[in-house]
Amino acid sequence: MPRPRLRDETKPDTAGLLKILWRTLPELWRSSPLLVTLLGLMALIGGVIPAVTLLISKWAVDGVSEVAAGGETNLALLAGAWAGAALLGQLTGVARQVLQGYAADNFTVQTSRRLMDKMNDLPGLEVLEDPRFHDDIQILQMGAPRRPLNLTATILGLLATAVSLLSVAGVLLTVGWWVPLVVVLGMIPLTLTQMRLYELGWSMTIQNTQASRELNYFQKAALNHGYAKEIRLYGLMPYLTHEYTERTLDYQRTMRGVRNKQLIGVLPAQILALAVTAGVFAYAVWQAQLGNLTPGAVVLVIGALSQVRGQLQELADSLGVGSEHLHWFGKYYEFLDAVPSVAVPAEPLPLPQRFDLTLDGVTFGYQGHAPVIENLSLHIPQGQTVAIVGENGAGKSTLVKLLLRFYDPSQGRILLGGAGEQVDLRDVDPQAWRSQVAAVFQDYARFEWDVRQNVLLGQEEDAPRLQYAADASGLTAMLPRLESGMNTRIGQAYGGVDLSGGQWQKLVTARALYRDARVLILDEPTAALDPRSEAEVFRTFAELSRGRTAVLVTHRLGSVRMADRIIVMNAGRITEDGTHEELLAAGGEYAELWALQARQYSESRDWLEREPDPASLLSSD
């Protein structure tokens, strides 16, 4: 299975950028067809107005000369035409700004939606754990609100500028066929230099994203509420400040170098452009002195020269800025085209009748790491309650994530279904399978919404079911302590309250219970609960798991006795498998862990019951 490739280290050249533009134009048009068509028309109209104005100016100056020489010219008509053209220019300009805003808004929403839809099409987690992905997603996230908007403005601006440039250059033909050619050729180096420098700026952005992400992390950590206790306790702030400052200064030094290069780099090309403009201007004046050009033509040349200069400058800026936007869109398409390693099958098989779970020689390692599950085989018949225990890092949570198909095994298969109807998890729609599973993860999501939304997670509210989930999880009992009960907003950032670890755990248990699922997975659901709440959650779990397939990962051995079967994992393998009594009798790791926990309980009970002797508390042995 090919790994998703989100980062193209070879950045697109001009042909690549044109390809990206070619793909973007229809996208832009699709986001608001009528608006974009109208805007295109307006850009065309706005584009020819400068040339028309120049011509009218020429005719007016020549007309004035004619009148001065005793001839006749309708100067009022020319003045009216000039004012009309200027007014049309103003009006199309304003209308363009307004409509462009609407079109850009639509394009922005469409682009962001595509990003989120693509995220939804990535059913696995692997892609999110790739550090290169963080860089790309940061670029995409930061650019999503502004790149589509800016590109829309740039494309329309480019269209108007190109039309303007062509029409004004056309007007210059009246002075000499070579004049527009020389003017444009003389200014092309400026355009190219500017574009190259913009390119440099973009590549710096890319190269520095990891660096800027890291340096920002130091600042974020320093200001983050969640880290505040450790930072104060361990006096971490000077370290964070030092790291942040050093890294930022380093980063700024690099960026300053790029900026200076950008500014100085354009100077020679600017001087050439200026020389060409001055040369053509001198030529026009000389020709007028010889009587080859009318005063109106000189005015036209002066106006056209400054127009062409301005427009080429604009073209260079737009092409440079536009190429940055296109680079962003290049990343965006790379992301949209990324092939997820955990893929939704083109033609998913229906879910089987029975939900027996079978792992058949499964091996799995996280991206770039050694296997953490090795050749593991396990059969969990439908309806069985299985507790998985084992030391830290044994692979228990990884096994749970594999069961939910957040990853695919690198070897072996995970099968779903009873005999004769088994399907490989890879062949069913992951969303269909997950909708049958309720799970409480160790690192559950703490959405900063209200309590109700945190339980419902986007599902329709069913009052009796919500009541049941809240009662069974212990959530109901804690609601009176929250100011607005179920409607209490969580998260200080939005003026809400903070929940304790145990309160959160009750809430996420309610979240799982609200889902009417056939498979129940609880990964350390009681780590932060007080003993009474813990007992309550296990009692509910026992009740709920009746008739359902249930997997419970826990270190609390006292609670695993009620499981039909206990599995002990060690270094990615199953080392023991049986009931509580069987495993105790076997005298293996489980029995050892059980004895250890039992001894801890009895020792602390003895210790508590003993009359405290201050000397024994202070002695070192």
Does 396 bind ligand ATP (CB under 6 A)? Our answer is yes
Nearer to ligand ATP, 190 or 568 (CB): 568
Of 85-93, 169-177, 198-206, 396-404: span binding ligand ATP (CB under 6 A)? 396-404
Instruction: Tell me, by CB under 6 A, how many residues bind ligand ATP.
Output: 13
Nearer to ligand ATP, 126 or 314 (CB): 126
- Angle value at C-alpha 549, between 545 and 554, nearest 5 degrees: 70
Return the SS3 of 374.
strand
Shortest distance, position 548 Cβ to ligand ATP, whole Å? 22
Are the beta carbons of 79 and 60 closer than 8 angstroms?
A: yes
Q: Are strands 411-416 and 357-365 parallel, antiparallel or unpaired?
A: antiparallel
Does 394 bind ligand ATP (CB under 6 A)? Our answer is yes
Does 593 bind ligand ATP (CB under 6 A)? Our answer is no
**Interface residue with ligand ATP, options 341, 398, 473, 505 (CB under 6 A):** 398
**Interface residue with ligand ATP, options 10, 392, 619, 620 (CB under 6 A):** 392
Shortest distance, position 43 Cβ to ligand ATP, whole Å? 49
- Treating both helix axes as pointing N-terminal to C-terminal, what angle do 14-31 and 147-172 enclose, rounded to 10 degrees? 110
Are the beta carbons of 296 and 62 closer than 8 angstroms?
A: yes
Shortest distance, position 215 Cβ to ligand ATP, whole Å? 24
User: Which residues, in sequence order, are CB contacts of 279 under 8 Å at separation 6+?
Assistant: 182
Shortest distance, position 390 Cβ to ligand ATP, whole Å? 6
Nearer to ligand ATP, 44 or 571 (CB): 571
- Angle value at C-alpha 306, between 305 and 309, nearest 5 degrees: 85
Shortest distance, position 240 Cβ to ligand ATP, whole Å? 25
Q: For residue 487, what is the DSSP state?
A: G
Are the beta carbons of 266 and 220 closer than 8 angstroms?
A: no
Nearer to ligand ATP, 47 or 409 (CB): 409
- Treating both helix axes as pointing N-terminal to C-terminal, what angle do 295-337 and 267-289 enclose, rounded to 10 degrees? 150
Question: Rounded distance, CA 59 to CA 451, Å?
Answer: 74
Q: What is the 3-state secondary structure (H, E, C) of 170-205?
A: HHHCCCCCHHHHHHHHHHHHHHHHHHHHHHHHHHHH
- Treating both helix axes as pointing N-terminal to C-terminal, what angle do 295-337 and 147-172 enclose, rounded to 10 degrees? 150
Shortest distance, position 568 Cβ to ligand ATP, whole Å? 11
Shortest distance, position 553 Cβ to ligand ATP, whole Å? 6
Nearer to ligand ATP, 333 or 366 (CB): 366
Of 166-174, 386-394, 423-431, 491-499: span binding ligand ATP (CB under 6 A)? 386-394
What's CA 320's distance to the chain center, in Å?
24
**Interface residue with ligand ATP, options 84, 268, 295, 393 (CB under 6 A):** 393
Of 22-30, 174-182, 393-401, 479-487: span binding ligand ATP (CB under 6 A)? 393-401
User: Which residues, in sequence order, are CB contacts of 70 under 8 Å at separation 6+?
Assistant: none
Binding-site string for ligand ATP from residue 102 to residue 131, where x marks contact by CB under 6 A and - marks none: ---------------------------x--
Does 372 bind ligand ATP (CB under 6 A)? Our answer is yes
Does 395 bind ligand ATP (CB under 6 A)? Our answer is yes
Does 73 bind ligand ATP (CB under 6 A)? Our answer is no
Shortest distance, position 354 Cβ to ligand ATP, whole Å? 27
Nearer to ligand ATP, 24 or 398 (CB): 398
Does 369 bind ligand ATP (CB under 6 A)? Our answer is yes
Nearer to ligand ATP, 343 or 372 (CB): 372
Nearer to ligand ATP, 72 or 443 (CB): 443
User: Which residues, in sequence order, are CB contacts of 58 under 8 Å at separation 6+?
Assistant: 294, 296, 297, 299, 300
Shortest distance, position 103 Cβ to ligand ATP, whole Å? 41
The closest alpha carbon to 136, from 247, 4, 257, 18, belongs to 4
Of 71-79, 137-145, 309-317, 389-397: span binding ligand ATP (CB under 6 A)? 389-397
Question: Rounded distance, CA 182 to CA 435, Å?
Answer: 68
Nearer to ligand ATP, 89 or 395 (CB): 395
Are the beta carbons of 149 and 295 closer than 8 angstroms?
A: no
What's CA 216's distance to the chain center, in Å?
17
Shortest distance, position 569 Cβ to ligand ATP, whole Å? 6
Q: What is the 3-state secondary structure (H, E, C) of 231-256?
A: HHHCCCHHHHHHHHHHHHHHHHHHHH
Looking at residues 337 to 366 of the shown chain, list those that interact with ligand ATP (rule: CB under 6 A): 366
Q: Is 587 left (phi over 0), alpha (psi -120 to 50) or beta?
A: left
Nearer to ligand ATP, 126 or 136 (CB): 126
Does 44 bind ligand ATP (CB under 6 A)? Our answer is no
Looking at residues 436 to 465 of the shown chain, list those that interact with ligand ATP (rule: CB under 6 A): 442
Residues making contact with ligand ATP (CB under 6 A): 129, 366, 369, 372, 390, 392-398, 442
